[in-house]
């Protein structure tokens, strides 16, 4: 007996557009079944597609100072890719080879009202989710290489043909090549391939590996979405909230007791901090809060940064200096503090963390000039060397009388 297909298995990856439904289905169905979920190839999405601009217009735009343009070129024999940022001029274009390059111009909808009209069929999406229309002109073999984007994109073929390959496997490899500033995928194994003709459109949700290679000269319109990262949202929200907070709301410790170990960011300090930050601190563990605060407070209100020494000190030099009675001086602009972490401590020096033992953290924060009570063991040597070579500590030899 044949098993009934799961509803999602029954969804086609390829459909035909109609005059009424450019996506080959009502917008509501597209949103439920495909949007942010799975790719969709729509043949004849725009059956009577009229090209709003051609490669010459695009080349002209790429010569404007204000337009964001780039040229990606592939060296097929060496399997390398190069990127050049615009603006370009006629000589740049005249010097290009016959094949294996593409010109891409961002935000063409802002420059050209005819291109902006291509957004009309996408009115079923909130307008603020739409970022821009990027237009690319590629010569035969041109493309930007296999990659995955962070945003949803509708790749509308405008002129000529382009061969698209995509990998829809949920565990598709995402490792990047290390030899290119373009974020190219190291391993790309397509599961689906199509050649798109003018008016055909490929929808890709974020993260789907894809590669579009021009089959002869072609123009592609990428209708790209905008989705702020959680980091961007949080940063802006924090700034927004902070702007309205009274200056008098600050860290306060009327309950302070004499510090048993100077420099320690202790439990009481972390509790006061968590109270002051309220629900913003809630997602953080105690260690995460301490680690952020240690770094923050040792940078806070610092007008200067310490510079590393001109010559790095070696372990041998450190041991020799200590053996002849040298002391360690903290750089006057280095601020030290420490916090307990499982099995030891983290020392913060002007924002930088250094893992060390509790006793070492205590000792390093105990004074600005330090005398070593006994020769340091290897892990203590590592910490001292790191602090010396980052400029926070300096070896000072005892003056001979």
106 binds, among Co ion, ligand SIN, none (CB under 5 to 8 A by kind): none
Q: Is 210 or 331 the residue whose CB approaches Co ion more closely?
A: 210
Q: Which residue in the shown chain puts its C-beta closest to Co ion?
A: 149
| DSSP reduced 3-state for 248 | coil
Q: Which residue in the shown chain puts its C-beta closest to ligand SIN?
A: 136
CB of 147 to Co ion, least distance (A): 6
Q: Is 149 in the site for Co ion (CB under 5 A)?
A: yes
User: Is the Cβ–Cβ distance between 124 and 31 less than 8 Å?
Assistant: yes
Q: Phi first, then psi: what are they for 302, rounded to 5°? A: -100, 125
Q: Is 145 or 263 the residue whose CB approaches ligand SIN more closely?
A: 145
346 binds, among ligand SIN, Co ion, none (CB under 5 to 8 A by kind): none
145 binds, among ligand SIN, Co ion, none (CB under 5 to 8 A by kind): none
Q: Is 168 or 284 the residue whose CB approaches ligand SIN more closely?
A: 168
Q: Is 80 or 150 the residue whose CB approaches Co ion more closely?
A: 150
The Cα-based distances of 51 to 48, 198, 219, 250 in angstroms read: 10, 9, 9, 59
How far is 215 from 200, CA to CA, in rounded Å? Answer: 14
Count of residues of this chain found to bind Co ion when the rule CB under 5 A is applied:
1
How far is 287 from 297, CA to CA, in rounded Å? Answer: 15
| DSSP string across 21-77 | -TTSS-HHHHHHHTTTT--EEEETTTTT---SS-HHHHHHHTTSTTS-EEEEEEETT
Q: Side-chain half-sphere of 392: how many Cα atoms within 13 Å?
A: 23
102 binds, among Co ion, ligand SIN, none (CB under 5 to 8 A by kind): ligand SIN
287 binds, among ligand SIN, Co ion, none (CB under 5 to 8 A by kind): none
CB of 214 to ligand SIN, least distance (A): 8
How far is 346 from 352, CA to CA, in rounded Å? Answer: 10
- Binding range to Co ion, per CB under 5 A, among 142-150, 157-165, 285-293, 351-359: 142-150
Q: Is 144 or 385 the residue whose CB approaches ligand SIN more closely?
A: 144
* Other residues' Cβ atoms within 10 Å of the Cβ of residue 66: 9
How far is 199 from 220, CA to CA, in rounded Å? Answer: 10
Tell me which residues touch ligand SIN (CB under 6 A).
102, 136, 143-144, 149, 153, 210, 212, 220, 222
136 binds, among ligand SIN, Co ion, none (CB under 5 to 8 A by kind): ligand SIN
| DSSP string across 59-71 | HHHTTSTTS-EEE
Q: Phi first, then psi: what are they for 26, rounded to 5°? A: -60, 150
Q: Is 102 or 291 the residue whose CB approaches ligand SIN more closely?
A: 102
Q: Is 14 or 149 the residue whose CB approaches Co ion more closely?
A: 149
CB of 18 to ligand SIN, least distance (A): 25
Q: Catalog residues that contact Co ion under the rule CB under 5 A.
A: 149
């Amino acid at each position: 007996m044949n098993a009934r297909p799961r509803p999602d298995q029954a969804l086609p990856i390829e459909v035909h557009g109609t005059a009424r439904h450019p996506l080959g289905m009502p917008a509501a169905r597209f949103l439920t079944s495909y949007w942010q979920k799975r790719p969709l190839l729509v043949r004849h999405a725009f059956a009577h597609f009229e090209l709003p601009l051609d490669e010459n217009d695009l080349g002209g735009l790429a010569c404007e100072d204000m337009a964001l343009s780039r040229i990606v070129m592939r060296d097929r024999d060496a399997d390398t890719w190069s990127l050049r940022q615009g603006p370009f001029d006629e000589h740049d274009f005249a010097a290009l080879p016959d094949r294996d390059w593409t010109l891409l111009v961002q935000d063409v909808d802002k420059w050209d009202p005819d291109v902006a009209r291509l957004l009309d069929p996408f009115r079923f999406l909130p307008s603020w989710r739409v970022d821009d229309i990027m237009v690319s002109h590629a010569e035969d073999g041109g493309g930007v290489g296999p990659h995955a984007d962070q945003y949803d994109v509708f790749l509308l073929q405008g002129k000529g043909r382009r061969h698209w390959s995509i990998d829809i496997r949920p565990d598709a490899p995402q490792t990047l090549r290390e030899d290119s500033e373009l974020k190219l995928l190291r391993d790309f194994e397509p599961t689906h391939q199509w050649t798109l003709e003018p008016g055909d459109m490929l929808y890709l949700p974020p993260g789907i590996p894809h590669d579009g290679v021009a089959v002869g000269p072609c123009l592609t319109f990428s209708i790209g979405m905008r989705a702020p990262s959680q980091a961007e949202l949080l940063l802006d929200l924090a700034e927004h909230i902070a702007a309205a907070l009274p200056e008098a709301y600050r860290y306060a410790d009327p309950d302070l007791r004499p510090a048993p170990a100077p420099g320690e960011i202790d439990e009481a300090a972390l509790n006061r901090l968590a109270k002051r930050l309220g629900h913003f601190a809630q997602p953080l563990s105690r260690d995460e809060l301490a680690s952020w605060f240690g770094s923050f407070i040792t940078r806070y209100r610092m007008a200067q940064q310490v510079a590393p020494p001109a010559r790095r000190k070696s372990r041998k030099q450190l041991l020799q200096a200590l053996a002849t009675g040298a002391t360690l001086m903290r750089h006057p602009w280095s601020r030290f503090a420490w916090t307990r972490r499982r099995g030891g401590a983290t020392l913060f020096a002007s924002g930088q963390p250094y893992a060390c033992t509790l006793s070492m953290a205590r000792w390093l924060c105990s004074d600005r000039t330090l005398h070593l009570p006994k020769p340091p063991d290897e892990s203590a040597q590592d910490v001292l060397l790191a602090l010396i070579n980052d400029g926070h500590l300096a070896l000072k030899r005892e003056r001979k009388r």
